[in-house]
Chain A
Amino acid sequence: MSETTHDGTVAVGAPASPDEGLPAAELAAKYGLSVSGARPSLGAYVRQLWGRRHFILAFSQAKLTAQYSKAKLGQLWQVATPLLNAAVYFFIFGLLLGARRGIPSDVYVPFLVTGVFVFTFTQSSVLAGVRAISGNLGLVRALHFPRASLPISFALQQLQQLLFSMIVLVVIMVAFRSYPDLSWLLVVPALALQVVFNTGLALIFARMGSKTPDLAQLMPFVLRTWMYASGVMFSIPAMLADKNVPSWLADVLQWNPAAIYMDLVRFALIDGYGSSYLPPHVWAFALGWAVLAGVVGFVYFWKAEERYGRG
């Protein structure tokens, strides 16, 4: 698609005018017309997105509400679903497989539940991201808005879902004798960084998913592998302690973004989960992953802005 190769044979069935025979590009330039559907500059794109912030928020809330609107218990499922999820993981990993190795038993339940909730947040953001464009082609082909609105909106929807889960989490914390204190405030920066990280991933997978919808079939397996490798239901250092592996390996495993954000939230909320469980430089890594995913994701998604909707 070059700008100059067309000689612009303009077929006008209307009466002649002085512009007759002028190539299309020159005619457009003369009257200040712009190319329809061209990609805006990065700065303009950010401004457009900001202008659509109400839509992004309303869309995410609408999706969240629509999810359970047919169920008899209605919005109660927002809380019941994560609770059941946690119960299943506790039954399998806590009771049957005994994955609690190295963790005191009154810490293990909050440890597991926090891990499940925080990992689910990233997991569902990625899965929603894959379908953000490919599953909403109708919307993309009907209305004008910066396309990044969709993946961002889906990531926000998952954040709101997580906030419901946090209600469950607080109850479990108190039940297992981790009481609210100042350190709980650390949850806010930890989750804020995770939101940025998740949104970045959602943007990356939205672009990939728009080109290759097959990813929607593949990603659940990738994400499950990631979950088992991230120490959702076991402590990575405790698991590796009796294996003959160098200590840097535990650090590397713990520096993976999912493990980082899980550990930070656990550290903030659980009394018995002190800084000895955290890898070195944990906040720097949390920030680094967020900035890396956020910036790369946004630019990568924006680069294909004019091509979404071809399907």
Chain B
Amino acid sequence: MADDTTGARVPTVIADDLHIVYRVNGARTGRGSATAALSRILKRGEERGVRTVHAVRGVSFVAYRGEAIGLIGSNGSGKSTLLRAIAGLLPAERGKVYTDGQPSLLGVNAALMNDLTGERNIILGGLAMGMSREEIKARYQEIVDFSGINEKGDFITLPMRTYSSGMAARLRFSIAAAKDHDVLMIDEALATGDRSFQKRSEARIRELRKHAGTVFLVSHNNKSIRDTCDRVLWLERGELRMDGPTDEVLREYEKFTGK
């Protein structure tokens, strides 16, 4: 990390003994018959028929301004959950996350509707991310051009369900990347679209990084972690297994995954 004046480092995200627990209805253990369900309902207890998944267990770290932090770990190790908790989107069971400003996840998929035209989705997605109508208007052409949707005809005025999966992914990324963020979190967003679009999106992420104070990147691609991050958090089973400079952690991680 290029941090010449030790001590002048400003924290932007502090996770303090963070625990995240999901509650899942309808995935009960035990017998599935109606009488069993009824008896569970009648039985007094605080968690009737609810299974809990302890996704993040006591993670603590401090992220500083100017850092790009990679999050690695096998599937289901709690990386995406941790990101959502930092963004304040998932309530913590115990512990706290302190942040400077509003961290945002790069991604707008959930706000878009397949039955609407690309045009309306750009406006809807922009508004969902908290942009104003004027900002969206100003960036509209930029988003369309970046996505390259209109390279093969006037697709932006067609409903999104008519797009190929690659086209839809490109449009989603273009909308999501149209906004600048203080603390930016990217969840495996790099691998969308064809080769030329991947290059463009990597360049855009570098640009976003420059404007953002702190960047978190979740990825299974060790190369993109090496290229973009200077610090890595390694999560395994919801616990922080290692936290340190990229090379060090990746070396251990590759040993662990048997590569």
Contact = CB atoms under 8 A, between A and B. Distances in A.
Given A10-B60, A36-B86, A37-B97, A142 B92 contact: no
A13 interface: yes
B6 A141 contact: no
Interface in A146-183: none
B91 A10 contact: no
Given A10-B61, A139-B111, A144 B6 contact: no
Given A24-B98, A65-B116, A139-B111, 19 more contacts: A1-B94, A6-B17, A6-B95, A9-B17, A10-B61, A14-B244, A17-B6, A19-B11, A27-B62, A31-B11, A35-B97, A36-B87, A36-B88, A69-B116, A141-B84, A143-B104, A143-B128, A213-B25, A311-B22
Interface in A1-58: 1, 3, 6, 8-19, 24-25, 27-28, 31-38, 51-52, 54-55, 58
A54 B133 CA distance: 8
B108 interface: yes
A246 interface: no
Given A13-B244, A311-B23, A143 B110 contact: yes
**Most chain B CB within a 10 A radius of its CB, from A17, A18, A52, A306:** A17
Interface stretch (B119-127, B196-204, B216-224): B119-127
A6 B120 CA distance: 47
B228 interface: no
Nearest to A305: B91
Given A10-B60, A69-B115, A143-B110, A58 B91 contact: no
Chain B, interface residues (CB within 8 Å), range: 35 or more
B22 A55 contact: no
B107 interface: yes
Interface of B: 1, 3, 6-7, 9-17, 22-25, 60-62, 64, 84-92, 94-100, 102-105, 107-111, 113-116, 120, 123-124, 127-130, 132-133, 159, 231, 240, 242-245
B206 to A, nearest CB: 23
17 contacts: A6-B17, A14-B9, A14-B231, A17-B6, A27-B11, A27-B62, A33-B12, A35-B96, A36-B85, A37-B89, A62-B116, A69-B116, A139-B111, A142-B108, A144-B87, A145-B130, A307-B91
A12 B62 contact: yes
B99 A310 contact: no
Contacts of A66: 113-116
A66 B91 CA distance: 31
A62 B1 CA distance: 45
